Amino acid sequence: MSLRALVGLTAAATLTGLGIQTASAQAARPKAPIYGVTLDDVSSINAIVASLTHLPYKPTVRVVFDPGTSAADYYAPLVKLHQVAYVMGEVMDSYYFPVDSTTYSARTNELVSTLKNVVDVWEIANEINGEWLRANPSGPTTTATSQEQQIGQMVGNAYDIVKGAGGLVSVTMYYNDDGKGTNCYELPMDSWRTWATNFLPSRVRQGADYALFSYYPYQDCPGLNPTWANDFKLLESIFPVAKVGFGEIGTSSTSAPLSVQQNLIKSYYPMGTTSMAADPRFIGGYFWWNYVEQMLPYSTSSYWSLLNNTIKPLAAPQ
Q: In this prediction, what percent of the chain has a pLDDT beyond 70?
A: 92
What are the structural domains of the chain? Answer: 32-311 (3.20.20.80)
pLDDT digit string (tens) for 262-287?
A: 999 999 999 999 999 999 999 999 99
Mapping DSSP onto H, E and C, the string for the chain reads CCCCCCCCCCCCCCCCCCHHHHHHCCCCCCCCCEEEEEECCCCCHHHHHHHHHCCCCCCEEEEECCCCCCHHHHHHHHHHHHCCCEEEEECCCHHHCCCCHHHHHHHHHHHHHHHCCCCCEEEEECCCCCHHHCCCCCCCHHHHHHHHHHHHHHHHHHHHHHHHCCCEEEEEEECCECCCCCECCCCHHHCHHHHHHHHCCHHHHHHCCEEEEEECCCCCCCCCCCCHHHHHHHHHHHCCCCEEEEEEECCCCCCCCHHHHHHHHHHHCCHHHCCCCCCCCEEEEEEECCHHHHCCCHHHCHHHHHHHHHHCCCCCCC
pLDDT digit string (tens) for 173-213?
A: 999 999 999 999 999 999 999 999 999 999 999 999 999 99
pLDDT digit string (tens) for 290-315?
A: 999 999 999 999 999 999 999 999 99
pLDDT of the residue at 14 = 35
pLDDT of the residue at 25 = 72
> Does position 12 have pLDDT exceeding 70, yes or no?
no
* pLDDT band at residue 22 using 50, 70 and 90 as cut-offs: very low
Over range 114-121, report the average pLDDT: 98
* pLDDT band at residue 11 using 50, 70 and 90 as cut-offs: very low
CA distance 66 to 145: 27
- Specify the pTM: 0.93
pLDDT of the residue at 24 = 46
Over range 3-14, report the average pLDDT: 34
> Does position 21 have pLDDT exceeding 90, yes or no?
no
pLDDT of the residue at 1 = 66
Over range 248-267, report the average pLDDT: 97
pLDDT digit string (tens) for 70-98?
A: 999 999 999 999 999 999 999 999 999 99
